[in-house]
Structure 1
Amino acid sequence: MTILADRLTDNRRRVLAWFQDDVFRRLFVNAGKLLSANVVGAVLGLIAAVLTARALGPQDYGILALVLVYQLTVGKLVTFDAWQAVIKFGSEALHADDRAGLRQLVKFGFALDIASALVGMALAMALAGPVIGLLGWDASVRPLVVLYSVLILFSLSGTPIGVLRLFDRFDLLSYTAILSGVVRLAGVAWCLLTNQRLFGFVLVYLITGIVGQLYQVFASLWVLRKQNVTGVINEPLRGIRRRFPGIADYVWTTNLTMTVRMLSREADGLFIAALTTPAALGLFKVAKQFAGVLPRFSDPLSQSIYPELARAWAARDAGRFVSLIKRTTLFTAAAAFGGWFVFLLAGRWIIRWTVGPAYQDAYWVTVFYLLALVI
């Protein structure tokens, strides 16, 4: 018993010592900003989802789920997530006090965002009919899919997210979840008060997405101005590969990684749509909605660690790099298993008193989906 007590004491001291590290403490401060906003955003989003599911029922809620997952899948397949490149090479530019290089990098990121958004929207609209036919769904769904594909045109948040994280403006980034949650909840309330059906809800979700994307763009431009990074649009892109060796390969590699990760999280809805009915997809959407609360708590830590890792890498500090990964992995794993266990015990009650008895069959789907996320 004495040996066990000594080990527990040593582990406690070791964990407390982690928070004496300025980098680790800053990591948790930034994660805390995102987490507090994510909690509010998750609550608002969950309330909106519950009201939507109750109003539409499993059948129409399943159609809404298809509309959402189609836009997300096609959009992510085509658009670039430039934020990782902005952070990595931006950290190097800041470390070398290369303002011209930073302007060039930001312009490169925005150019990727805009070009891929245009291509993505056109492709999504063109493929809407064939995909719906391939899935065996009613052709009446196509106008809704085409309408919601407009959101891809505004999917320009890759570079803005990178800029906000690069300059540690996690407070501004965190407001996205709250703003989107408030707008969506207000829109859903309008749908309920005016007896809107499926089209009205699709329109509300579209407007919510556009508002969130545009907010991040304007917030990043404001931060660049505050940091005296002006004249971005006039900075020539010529020579960017010489200034940032490996940037093209890095962008392609990270985009492929993020695309595969997104497909593992989101594209399952398309497979469910192809194999089952809209009502079954509606149940699956509810399960994902509840399971999506868990990443809301873990993602802030993952998002906050990336700039710190980029700084450690730019400074060639391998010890700090490895230490940050080990410590954040431990905290994330503990929180994830705790969340899964809570739903395992109280999940049936939660589903019954939120979305209603019509979605009770979503319990076991949610349990296993949560477990897969944890693992």
Structure 2
Amino acid sequence: MKLAAEEMDRPGEPRRGGLLNILKNVAWLMGGKGFGAICSIAYLAILSRSLGLKDFGHFSLIFATGLALVALASFQTWQTVVKFGAEPSRRRDWRSFGRLVWLCGAIDVSGAAVGTLVAFVVYYGFGGALSLNPEFIDMAFWFNVALLWSRMTTPNGIVRVLDRFDLGTYVEAVVPAGRLLASLLIILLGPTVGRFLFAWAFFDLLTGLLYWIVAWRLVPKALNRETFGHFRETLTANSDVPKFFGITYASSTLDAIYKQGPVLVVGLLLGTSAAGLYRLADQLGQGIGKLSGMLTRAIFPEFAVAHTTQAIDLFRRLVRQVTLIAALGGVGVTLVAIFLGEPLLTLIGGDAYTAGAVILIPLAVAASFELASVAYEPMLYSTGHAQYPLVIRLIAVAVLGVGIFFLLPMGPIGVGIAVACGMAVSWVLMSAIVLRVMRSLVLAEKAA
């Protein structure tokens, strides 16, 4: 991918402000996600139909375990790059920016190494507890290793803080396109769990490599030997980085437990077939959750800049505008899930998955609550209140655990209802906290 010299200078260009810039970035992300959604529906249909309910359940458990391990081993360094790199990148202080990036990259590598060890213990020590076929253990381990090393988020943060969402869209399109092409080839060769896992891992690794290449081409002055190392100096200059790392790590881990834990619980206690049924419904429900994540990636860089360059009234209006748009979107996707959930599941997975329609409804409600609160976490992070999302996520996980304990006799739908209850509690608490923080910011500005 060749970037012209003038394109590399774009990081220093003045930003388009506020909501307009967020919508521009969302448009880029939605263009990529729209393409990805079409591809994912196609390859998900091939995957679920060709493997059958039980093998699709095995695939789902391996994939969910992999995502959980990625969250446990990842420090979401992209958020640190955005929060602490916004100011040096705006000033074109590539030396400071590069040192921050190398610090985040080193933490990414350390996390992936530790995650590999954890994956070894999980699969070779507790593979039976996951109800996995013993012949899947080796391939599951290596698949998880590939996910751990491909999903480092430091280069993603570089692309986002430099406002190059267009390049990120092109890179991320590799995964859905590659998976779809691989699925068609696997159908010709003969569908197996191992072949699908290999294809998924290959394109994840390729995307991770491309992200690093794009990041280096954007800021070669930052990513060089002169800026490598100096970790102690970087931490001294950014004394809040360790605290921010710890909070975002714990928060992302709880988020992974919330999103992947129910699939693992269903597989562990209700069997792999039930896990496959739940997973397909969850895939559609989490499609809404992915929209939330997409909006967060577009919102956080803009909030990080807006909080330092705009008056509090303008910042508050920006938060309010984004929240209103997201809430309306949440209502819309819930209605789609209610009225079109069963036809979609039948179209994608076939008649064996039709029963998942009742599971999809509470999962879509949960994802809609997540979408409605999409502006809250970036707002709290950008204003130095990252501890609140962590506490609220902890409460939501506790509600989820209690809900699963009491509702599990209902089967997978009971787990789905527990997920919706936890997310509803999270939305209520997050709304109250954001309102309180915003009021305190207004009062602080008036006092100044």
TM-score (norm 2): 0.75
Structure 2 equivalent of residue 134 of structure 1: 129
Change (3 A) 1:290 1:234: closer
Q: In structure 2, what is the Cα distance between the partners aligned to 1:178 and 1:84?
A: 21
Contact 2:36 2:173 in 1 (8 A): yes
Change (3 A) 1:41 1:277: same
Instruction: After TM superposition, list the pairs within 5 Å mapping 1:104-123 onto structure 2.
Output: 104-123=99-118
Of 32, 37, 40, the residue aligned with 2:35 is: 40
Of 184, 197, 206, the residue aligned with 2:201 is: 206
Q: In structure 2, what is the Cα distance between the partners aligned to 1:350 and 1:189?
A: 21
Unpaired segments ≥5 residues, structure 2: 1-15, 370-448
Instruction: Please give the secondary structure, in 2, of the residue aligned with 1:196.
Output: coil
Provide the alpha-carbon RMSD of the alignment.
Answer: 1.8
Q: In structure 2, what is the Cα distance between the partners aligned to 1:266 and 1:322?
A: 33
Instruction: Please give the secondary structure, in 1, of the residue aligned with 2:231.
Output: coil
Change (3 A) 1:349 1:101: same
Structure 2 equivalent of residue 264 of structure 1: 258
Of 355, 360, 368, the residue aligned with 2:354 is: 360
Name the aligned partner's letter for residue 352 of structure 1: T
Is 1:304–2:298 an aligned residue pair? yes
Is 1:231–2:202 an aligned residue pair? no
User: Once the 2 structures are TM-superposed, how far is the Cα of residue 96 of structure 1 from its aligned partner?
Assistant: 5.0
Is 1:181–2:179 an aligned residue pair? no
Structure 2 equivalent of residue 286 of structure 1: 280
Q: In structure 2, what is the Cα distance between the partners aligned to 1:103 and 1:359?
A: 49
Q: In structure 1, what is the Cα distance between the partners aligned to 2:75 and 2:139?
A: 24
Contact 1:32 1:300 in 2 (8 A): no
Structure 2 equivalent of residue 12 of structure 1: none
Of 209, 213, 218, the residue aligned with 1:218 is: 213
1:74-105 CA-to-partner distances (Å, cap 9, x unmatched) read 12112221011101110122345533211110
Instruction: After TM superposition, list the pairs within 5 Å mapping 1:53-72 onto structure 2.
Output: 53-72=48-67
Structure 2 equivalent of residue 74 of structure 1: 69
User: Once the 2 structures are TM-superposed, how far is the Cα of residue 255 of structure 1 from its aligned partner?
Assistant: 1.4
User: Once the 2 structures are TM-superposed, how far is the Cα of residue 239 of structure 1 from its aligned partner?
Assistant: 1.3
1:10-39 CA-to-partner distances (Å, cap 9, x unmatched) read xxxxxxxxxxx9421111011100011111
Name the aligned partner's letter for residue 127 of structure 2: I
Instruction: After TM superposition, list the pairs within 5 Å mapping 1:312-351 onto structure 2.
Output: 312-315=306-309, 317-351=311-345
User: Once the 2 structures are TM-superposed, how far is the Cα of residue 126 of structure 1 from its aligned partner?
Assistant: 2.4
Q: Give the number of aligned pairs.
A: 353
Change (3 A) 1:34 1:187: same
Contact 2:345 2:354 in 1 (8 A): yes
Contact 1:125 1:149 in 2 (8 A): no
Contact 1:46 1:289 in 2 (8 A): no
Q: In structure 2, what is the Cα distance between the partners aligned to 1:372 and 1:275?
A: 22
Q: In structure 1, what is the Cα distance between the partners aligned to 2:317 and 2:126?
A: 46
Contact 2:75 2:248 in 1 (8 A): no
Of 4, 22, 26, the residue aligned with 2:21 is: 26
Q: In structure 2, what is the Cα distance between the partners aligned to 1:361 and 1:144?
A: 30
Identity of aligned residues (%): 22
User: Once the 2 structures are TM-superposed, how far is the Cα of residue 122 of structure 1 from its aligned partner?
Assistant: 2.1
Q: In structure 2, what is the Cα distance between the partners aligned to 1:115 and 1:317?
A: 39
Contact 1:28 1:301 in 2 (8 A): no
1:310-356 CA-to-partner distances (Å, cap 9, x unmatched) read 11233364333322221111111111210110121122222222210
